[in-house]
Amino acid sequence: MIGIVVVSHSFSLARAAVELATEMLHDQQVRIEIAAGLDATTLGTDAVAVAQAIAAADSGDGVLVLMDLGSAVLSAELALDLLAAPHRVRLCGAAIVEGLITASVCASGGAGLDEVASEAENALLGKRTQLRSSPTDSGEAGEPVGGGEPASEGGGGASDDLEAAVAVFTVENEHGLHARPAARLVTELRGCRAKVRLRNLTTGTGPVSAASLSRVAALGALAGHRLEVSATGLDAQAAVARVIGLAARRFDEIAEPEMSVSASGPTGPFPASPGIGIGPAWPLVSSEFDIPQQPTGTLDDEWARFAQALATVQTEITAASRRAGSASGIFEAHLLLLEDEELLDTVRREIDTGTSAAAAWAGALDAAAAEVQQLSDDYQRTRAADLRAVRDQVLGSLLGHVRETVSSVGVVIARDLTPAQVADLDPASVIGIILAQGSSTSHSVILARASGIPAVVGAGSWVLEVVAGTTVALDGGTGRLVVAPDGSTLAEFETLAAEQRARLRADAAAANQPATTLDGVEVHVAANIASVAEAVAAKVSGADLAGLVRTEFLFLGRDHAPDIDEQEHAYLGIAGALEGRRIVLRTLDVGGDKPLPYVPQRAEANPFLGVRGIRLTLERPQLLRDQLTAIGRVAADNPVSVLLPMVTDLTELQAVRKLLADTLPQAANLEVGIMVEVPATAAKTAAFADHVDFFSIGTNDLTQYALAAERGNDAVAALADPLDPGVLRLIDMVCRGAGNARVAVCGEVAADPAAVPILLGLGVTELSVAPPSIPTIKAAIRQLDLSVCIRLATHALQCGTAAEVRRALSNADAHVG
């Protein structure tokens, strides 16, 4: 006879389930072992206890293991590796109560392991059938009648009167469904009239609600895992199609640069953000929260305080997101956690039982973080830090704690930092970060890299004992860290720092000077920005203008479009920060691969080739009309250009021109340009030239479309080189066909000093880059002779590969002399 093991977080729950199942056996004996709780009262699971229970339950015919929650599955999987002798074991995803009863009865009749497992997994069919046939059942709140668990692969399981869909995909993201891709999934499904569930078929974990960020992250879905997505409801088919499309795009995740492990060994410190930092230590001490268990007032008072804390933190995170600029996506997961219905329902139930809001919130987030912390993947485990960061931020608001910040020049030392804390740091004052814990892939470190602050992580708790003011030296590129360095060591670090800073200082000193070639040709160097803060940085960095203002920052992360007044205010803020420099406002560039929750779109098999950019806004003319109205108001007193994304046909440009004339007849002199992102647009530049004032080449998309190679796809990323001769020929077509219109490049290649000679040689007259790159690009231009650039570009067009072009760049004299 087979044996059965019950794995549960709660010993009391497991014991009650076994007692109930035993009552159904009518004195027949089945070996049922319990591996539940860390002890009789402490919740948790222990892989060693599970392994011991399996060994005790196995009489030779095999063991069926039933588990309650995701981390119980992980413990059970680990237990299989711990078993000292081979055992025939089946991990079963059945509901623990119904599955245990059915399995026990079936096993008592002598059924084999496969039959018992099958019966257990189908134990809910009777309940589902009864609920579907009940005319009075109204289902759970917000859930269609008969929703229940999703069907297994290839099966049914949804109510006959509701649309149902099921599909399977493989996770391709390097680090699986951690916080950011999980947040992208939750956002993608907003507004869908369907209940969507995910099941990890590889591990047996789930199903979980795809609307809950904490539950999706706790699935433990790693690269290569197969996941089942199922949906019921009016939009079920579309919802599943969206998830499958998103999975095919790797959940729109851009790979983060990896830092090599420090030579200092596996105990750390580890490199995290490159650069040299030397200065006095400024320990940042984290205060512990004294969390009250009882509310201080009525339930209504407690709810009001909690709601206010959530609103306050939402405002703080939104502000931090805007300060983060290009790294703002990190905070999307934090905002979604504040809206996670499963977490909030847990808090609501606890408060209603008389628990304080602080204790309820801390308990819910601690439990969610503990589940993520038990995942087997190191990268995914670091995402528990996001849950703790949001936990502490809300607790700080609830309990009146003031978050400590650093205003003095020095190296910050802390156990760990939240993304919000890093966003608060001033790169002009903070010259380095040392973390006792942390990971080079944490969101905090990603923000530090974006801010250019050198950092090392995993240094160990001993760094927390460093006395404030002590000199410390760190190399964020190698992980080297020295506290109180002696004279020779300090001199070594200072030499390295001086070498790295010398060129940056020289470039920065001349940043506000024109970028003029050796033969007297001036090239405008502009900034790509998406906020007032970045506009300020652009001015300080010496930008001649804002060559690309991504207006999407106003439209994302909200449930309705900004009105005309809000847009006008935002654009005026950017114009004011740039003090009279021209700003090029690109109209809304979303849709397809970047959907908006308040702009319904049908699912697309390939959103990169779908309704996006100008195609979307022409389908929603009120969106475009409002944005053009706001732009026109700003243009009345400021130099403003409007840039249209994803234009592929002259009729699209003409339609916008007409809408602009009808909306703003007084803005006839407003400069209008188009993005060149599609090869066909580049090939017919001459057809557009008489209708625009300028062209802006988006080399990121142009390269992707021309080479059929997505940069985010590791398998073909090496092909997506903007210096491929085919891409260069498209840029050449634009420059030759532009007539009197200006030609700018706003893609990443514009920030590559090695590529600048070819771009100028092809005829580009403006380069638009991220603000920190402006001084470097200006300096590079001043070292060039345009006649030499033209010869180099002519040679590059004759090359066969991007590698050949780069060899020509590295040895220009040999090819153009």
Burial 616-649 (b: 16+ CB within 10 A, else e): bbbebeebbbbbbbbbbbbbeebebbbbbbbbbb
Q: In what order do the strands lie in the sheet with 89-92?
A: 32-36, 3-8, 63-67, 89-92
Distance from C-alpha of 229 to C-alpha of 186, rounded to nearest angstrom: 13
Helix (H) or strand (E) holding 266: none
Structure tokens at 659: 């809408």
Strand positions, DSSP E, 598-681 = 640-644, 671-676
Contact 294, 354 (CB under 8 A): yes
Structure tokens at 327: 């790294």
Q: Please tell me whether residue 675 adopts helix, strand or coil conformation.
A: strand
Structure tokens at 13: 């729950």
Distance from C-alpha of 714 to C-alpha of 385, rounded to nearest angstrom: 27
Distance from C-alpha of 503 to C-alpha of 508, rounded to nearest angstrom: 8
Task: Select from 570, 517, 541 the least CA-distant residue to 770.
Answer: 541
Show contacts of 25-28: CB within 8 Å, 24+ apart. 25/104, 25/105, 25/108, 28/108
Helix 96-108 and helix 11-23: axis angle, to 10°?
Answer: 40
Task: Select from 299, 275, 206 the least CA-distant residue to 451.
Answer: 275
Distance from C-alpha of 354 to C-alpha of 345, rounded to nearest angstrom: 15
Contact 811, 796 (CB under 8 A): no
Q: Please tell me whether residue 798 adopts helix, strand or coil conformation.
A: coil
Residues with a catalytic annotation lie at 443, 746
Q: Who contacts 436 (Cβ-Cβ below 8 Å, separation ≥6)?
A: 413, 414, 415, 416, 458, 459, 460, 461, 462, 463, 464
Structure tokens at 77: 């999987």
φ, ψ dihedrals at 266, nearest 5°: -70, -10
Q: Please tell me whether residue 68 adopts helix, strand or coil conformation.
A: coil
Task: Select from 610, 700, 623, 685 the least CA-distant residue to 656.
Answer: 623
Which one-letter amino acid corresponds to residue 326? S
Task: Select from 481, 480, 461, 464 the least CA-distant residue to 472.
Answer: 481
Contact 776, 452 (CB under 8 A): no
Distance from C-alpha of 50 to C-alpha of 48, rounded to nearest angstrom: 5
Q: Please tell me whether residue 580 adopts helix, strand or coil conformation.
A: coil
In terms of residues, how long is the chain?
A: 817
Q: Who contacts 8 (Cβ-Cβ below 8 Å, separation ≥6)?
A: 14, 17, 34, 35, 36, 37, 45, 67, 68, 72, 96
Strand pairing of 671-676 and 742-745? unpaired
Q: Who contacts 233 (Cβ-Cβ below 8 Å, separation ≥6)?
A: 144, 147, 162, 163, 192, 193, 194, 195, 239
Helix (H) or strand (E) holding 235: none
